[in-house]
Amino acid sequence: MAVTIHQLRKWKEKGRPISVLTAWDYAFASLLDQAGIDVLLVGDSLAMVALGYPTTLSLSLEEMLYHAQAVTRGVNHALVVCDLPFLSYQESPQQALRSAGTLLQQAGIAAVKVEGGYPDMVNTVHYLVERGIPVMGHVGLTPQSVHQFSGYRRQGTSDPEADRILQEAIALETAGAFAIVLEHIPHPLASKISQTLKIPTIGIGAGAGCDGQVLVTADLLGLSEWQPPFAKVYSNLQDSITGAVQQFCDDVRNHQFPQ
């Protein structure tokens, strides 16, 4: 049975942790889906891990649409959520509605994710939700603000900052967000937010107190050039792929393939 937003809320109530991974193409999406992942996020981290851009800021809505379409073709079970790319939603709620609508209509995703919990973004979330578009929030380290943060630094380390992040999470829930990503914040703060909110929190570098966990799939599989300190590398595909390709080259050069 396909995962629904309602199901995520039920899982939080039952204390059943939610698994989330990123996907950017058909091949990985179908593998992750068949392996039983709950939620697939077409995260704008694909700008870096799949397209070689230096940050997520360069990704366009058109590129995101292309990748989201490939992902949904591979998914039967997981809930598919898609990031709204930088500058495709910050201008106004109407701009966000057009961008989200394009992704829902043309890629068949179920929900969008937006970064930030400042008042204008909370209004945008409310605007989208009222018009039937489910929204996942994202607070703490929001990578589209990397320059504002002077790097991918942990957020919420001072009391006023921690309180601001808590208030943002509460405001996003009140605006109708169905879940919130908490990225790279102190673990006690993430636990407090998770206990305060009724909607599920999905942590990345935010500790075990969240209702679910997300990783960038390229980090989990050892495919990215650089991993953040909180990522766990479950498999080193970079070595496996390099080894297989070197073996193929040797076999061709030594007349071992085809035999």
Cite the active site residues.
183
Residues paired with residue 203 on neighbouring β-strands, in sequence order = 182, 213
Tell me if 43 contacts ligand KIV by CB under 6 A: yes
Q: Mark residues 6-35: x for contact with ligand KIV by CB under 6 A, - for none.
A: ----------------x-------------
Tell me if 214 contacts ligand KIV by CB under 6 A: yes
Which member of 12, 40, 45, 194 binds ligand KIV (CB under 6 A)?
45
Residue with tokens 């379409």: 69
By C-alpha distance, which of 71, 11, 20 is closest to 46? 71
Name which of 104 and 141 has its Cβ closer to ligand KIV. Answer: 141
Which member of 18, 28, 39, 44 binds ligand KIV (CB under 6 A)?
44
Which member of 83, 168, 211, 219 binds ligand KIV (CB under 6 A)?
83
Cα–Cα separations (whole angstroms), residue 223 to 103, 232, 236: 27, 12, 7
228-232 contacts, C-beta under 8 A, 24 or more apart = 228/152, 228/184, 229/205, 230/184, 230/204, 230/205
Total binding residues toward ligand KIV, as defined by CB under 6 A = 10
Name which of 139 and 171 has its Cβ closer to ligand KIV. Answer: 139
Q: From the CB of 243, what's the least distance to ligand KIV, in Å? A: 27
Tell me if 219 contacts ligand KIV by CB under 6 A: no
DSSP 114-158: ----SHHHHHHHHHHHHTT--EEEEEES-GGGTTTTTSS-----S
Q: Mark residues 173-212: x for contact with ligand KIV by CB under 6 A, - for none.
A: --------x----------------------x--------
Name which of 24 and 127 has its Cβ closer to ligand KIV. Answer: 24
Tell me if 216 contacts ligand KIV by CB under 6 A: yes
What is the β-pairing status of strands 79-83 and 135-140?
Answer: unpaired
d(CA 68, CA 71): 5
Q: Are 172 and 120 in contact (CB under 8 A)?
A: no
Tell me if 141 contacts ligand KIV by CB under 6 A: no
Q: Kindly indicate which of the ranges 37-45, 170-178, 184-192, 237-245 contains the residues binding ligand KIV, using the contact rule CB under 6 A.
A: 37-45
Residue 181 main-chain phi, psi, to 5 deg = -80, 130
CB atoms within 10 A of CB 163: 12
Q: Are 145 and 56 in contact (CB under 8 A)?
A: no
Q: Are 109 and 102 in contact (CB under 8 A)?
A: no
Name which of 41 and 166 has its Cβ closer to ligand KIV. Answer: 41
Q: List residues binding ligand KIV (CB under 6 A).
A: 22, 41, 43-45, 83, 181, 204, 214, 216
